[in-house]
Amino acid sequence: MKTVRVKIRVTGIVQGVGFRPFIYRIAVKNGLNGYVRNRGDAGVEILLEGSEERVKNFLRDLKEKKPPLARIYEVITSPLKGKNEFESFTILKSSEETELSGSVIPPDIAICDECLKELRDPENPRYEYFFITCTNCGPRYTIIEKLPYDRENTTMREFPMCNFCRSEYTDPLNRRFHAQTVACPKCGPKVYLTTKKGELVNSEDPVREAGKLLSEGFIVAIKGYGGFHVATATTMDEPLIKLRRVKHRKQKPFAIMARSLEATKSFAEVSLREAELLTSYMRPIVLLNKSEDYYLSDLIAPGLHNVGVMLPYTGLHYMLFDRVEDPAFVMTSANPPNQPIIKDDDEALRRLSGTVDYFLFHNRKIAHRCDDSVVRLHGIHQVFLRRSRGYAPAPIVLREKAKHCTVGLGGELNNTGCVLLGNKAFISQHIGDVENVETRDFLEKATKHLIRLTNSKVEAVTCDLHPKFTTTRLAQNLADENGWQLIQVQHHHAHIAALMAEHDVKEIIGISCDGYGYGSDGEAWGGEILFCTRGELGFERLAHLQRQPLIGGDLATRYPLRTAAGILHKKVDVEDWLMQHRERFPHGEKEVEVVLHQLEREDNAIMTTSCGRVLDAVAAVLDVCYERTYEGEPAMKLESIAVKGEDILKLKPIIANDVLNTTEMLLEIFENRGKYSKADLAYSAHAYLAKGLATLAIEKALEKNVKIVGFSGGVACNRILTLIMRKIVEDSGLKFLVHEAVPPGDGGLSFGQAVIVGFSNF
């Protein structure tokens, strides 16, 4: 039997997922000597000595039996010269070597079944320990300060293991062998309850005490893996009224955490696929339709047909429900307006003591903040509204390798950063609205952290075309500082490019619809039909929605009655109608007079082709929503009304010179008010837009001989529009693509920008 010596380097998600213990086990099983160790580039290095046959078996096991959370991107095997020097197989101390790139640490992982069982087992030393974890579960991305993933490089370094934990940590047969987050009540992080001023509340059982307080209607800030949540009861109105008042959130829906899947089914409809998502180790917030007998407070998701629900994902979360009967608690990210989610204790005390009644702290630091992810289903298709905890920073793996390592900084709202390296795109956690210094810094930090983690040698940075976005300035600075190429990318092109990259498509007719994006001509775009080709920095704008005036500029976005008046004014006298609605304007009758005056001078108005604004206008005409207090509110509420409707008006799309008319549609809705139900009219408006956009796209696809039509942009979160378009496009024999891996909204922009530039020949 020939003996060999080989060095194997593995890249992928191979640190923090029980990979070294796994390697140890398969090496020993195959009778091989040598070592395994983590590397500073997030990869793993293995040295094997033994027969050729055994090495072959080892490599087979490596691929076939890898731990469930591990992802292997590359296995590089190189023969070594020299005599055998190992007499056994061992796990060595990590090396700092960083020559390989493209590996990354895993996302945070929800508590596993075995840990959950131990949490409930009175015989277990970690019985009722809120921070129970193992190699298969627990925080990862949010605790790692630098690589390699060793305890001293994480925020667990402050908790030296006790003898018991160490004995498990060093036992190759134990589930916690080399689990960096291993801890127990004796040696691990402690949890404690305080008043809103930070004074300790003496309690034997702070977690369950907090659960009781929540159940009684108190507001409690709870420190989790990636930041603080603000929590309260879901079955009473009073705490929600208070929470909305102090958080200045008039209408924006709150996410809730249900005690169990069973409890969720008592107030929401849960399909099989939705149940799978809810219970997956990513544990995202899933938007579920409220059921017929929805009995939670209407103040959780006012005016919406659905509600965002997640299941507990840490021991602490499970224990919150132990001593109470509540089906769910509100569990919303603790972030002050336009600020990132709060992660540090002192910041929480400073910023939240006016909001909450109590704090449930633990004394482990959070290295990186990470909001919860949000998904919904369109039929069988999963749509990301926010891709964050549980997913980031695991990469989107592309079929082909990019030509340039590129960083995308996204747009402004709901932003993310992205590092494209080879065939992998690492998208950051949710950053939020990058309008001020705090979110800007968060974006910069998160992106630089990703570059470091993946060991990327960046060549180019890309951002939106908008000259005044904070991210545009940041891109400029980074380009100057590092000598990177700077390339700006048009907003709607980036949306479609993201879709193309995700599906490995070379050309597409893209329907790119959202609220606002800076057009190539400087105008406000948002209802675009584009022809895009992979590898091209440019694109062709083939068609769009009718340009409509924004009466009062940004005010029209906030108060959709203004947009509606701007459209209707061309056809009817809107004075009486506006006067009837004067209470809906912040300055009443006076403001209506100003609006009427502005309507006369319409030529000065800012024009937009935005699809979002048209939906807003329909919402205003149908008395569904008069003020946009959060992004997408009027359109979301309109969809919620339309869910129960049908296409009663059956309007035929009016298309001339590659423009879809929207004035006539709004007029029809306006004139049929009272004649038909709101639901039917709301649905008819959706049907008109979907039919019109799909018809235009099909027409253009035939002209260009392209076989694929895709739908992207924030409006693609709308289920009704998506389903109608899909039917029309597929009936015409073309393929219809939507996002599955990245958000259709602006959270997907950084990825779209990066693939445009990374695959181009700039």
Q: Closer to Zn ion at the Cβ: 67 or 198?
A: 67
Residue 274 binds to Fe ion (criterion: CB under 5 A):
no
CB atoms under 10 Å from CB of 271, counted, come to: 14
Instruction: Give which of 635, 656, 562, 638 is closest to 605, Cα–Cα.
Output: 562
Shortest distance, position 492 Cβ to Fe ion, whole Å: 7
Shortest distance, position 211 Cβ to Zn ion, whole Å: 22
Sole residue written with tokens 């009224």: 241
Please give the C-alpha separations between residue 664 and each of 607, 614, 620, 670, 728, in angstroms, as whole numbers.
Answer: 17, 12, 16, 10, 22
For residue 415, the SS3 value is strand
Q: Closer to Zn ion at the Cβ: 137 or 694?
A: 137
Shortest distance, position 495 Cβ to Fe ion, whole Å: 6
For residue 596, the SS3 value is helix
For residues 21 and 177, give the distance between their C-alpha atoms in angstroms, rounded to a whole number: 6
For residues 300 and 304, give the distance between their C-alpha atoms in angstroms, rounded to a whole number: 9
Q: Closer to Fe ion at the Cβ: 256 or 465?
A: 465
Shortest distance, position 159 Cβ to Zn ion, whole Å: 8
Length of the chain counted residue by residue: 762
Select the residue whose beta carbon is closest to Fe ion and give its number.
514
Q: Closer to Zn ion at the Cβ: 117 or 350?
A: 117
Judged on CB neighbours under 10 Å (0-12, 13-18, 19+), 659 is middle
- For residue 410, give the amino acid letter: G
For residue 170, the SS3 value is coil
Residue 746 binds to Fe ion (criterion: CB under 5 A):
yes
Shortest distance, position 186 Cβ to Zn ion, whole Å: 5
Pull the structure tokens for residue 57: 């078996």
DSSP codes, 536-566: -S--EEEEEEPPEEETTTHHHHH-HHHHHHH
Give the interface segment with Fe ion, choosing from 237-245, 657-665, 670-678, 739-747 (CB under 5 A). Answer: 739-747
Q: Count of residues binding Fe ion (CB under 5 A)?
A: 2
Shortest distance, position 386 Cβ to Fe ion, whole Å: 14
Shortest distance, position 117 Cβ to Zn ion, whole Å: 9
Shortest distance, position 494 Cβ to Fe ion, whole Å: 8
Q: Closer to Zn ion at the Cβ: 186 or 323?
A: 186
Q: Residue 187: which of Zn ion, Fe ion, none does it interact with, CB under 5 to 8 A by kind?
A: Zn ion
Q: Closer to Zn ion at the Cβ: 117 or 250?
A: 117
Q: Closer to Fe ion at the Cβ: 492 or 569?
A: 492
Pull the structure tokens for residue 524: 């406000």
For residues 233 and 214, give the distance between their C-alpha atoms in angstroms, rounded to a whole number: 5
Site mask, Fe ion, residues 698-737, x = CB under 5 A? ----------------------------------------
Give the E-state strand segments of 398-506 in sequence order.
406-408, 418-421, 424-427, 460-464, 485-489
Q: Closer to Fe ion at the Cβ: 49 or 746?
A: 746
Q: Residue 746: which of Fe ion, Zn ion, none does it interact with, CB under 5 to 8 A by kind?
A: Fe ion
Q: Is residue 329 within 8 Å of residue 234, measured between CB atoms?
A: yes
Q: Residue 165: which of Zn ion, Fe ion, none does it interact with, CB under 5 to 8 A by kind?
A: Zn ion
Q: Is residue 676 within 8 Å of residue 708, measured between CB atoms?
A: no
Q: Which helix (H) or strand (E) holds 437?
A: helix 437-454
Residue 507 binds to Fe ion (criterion: CB under 5 A):
no
Q: Residue 514: which of Fe ion, Zn ion, none does it interact with, CB under 5 to 8 A by kind?
A: Fe ion
Q: Which helix (H) or strand (E) holds 400?
A: none
Q: Closer to Fe ion at the Cβ: 507 or 514?
A: 514
Binding site for Zn ion (CB under 5 A): 112, 115, 134, 136-137, 162, 165, 184, 186-187
- For residue 395, give the amino acid letter: P
Pairing of strands 89-91, 33-38: parallel
Shortest distance, position 136 Cβ to Zn ion, whole Å: 5
Residue in 514, 528, 633, 680 binding Fe ion, rule: CB under 5 A? 514
Q: Is residue 222 within 8 Å of residue 194, measured between CB atoms?
A: no
Q: Give the interface with Fe ion as residue ranges (CB under 5 A).
A: 514, 746
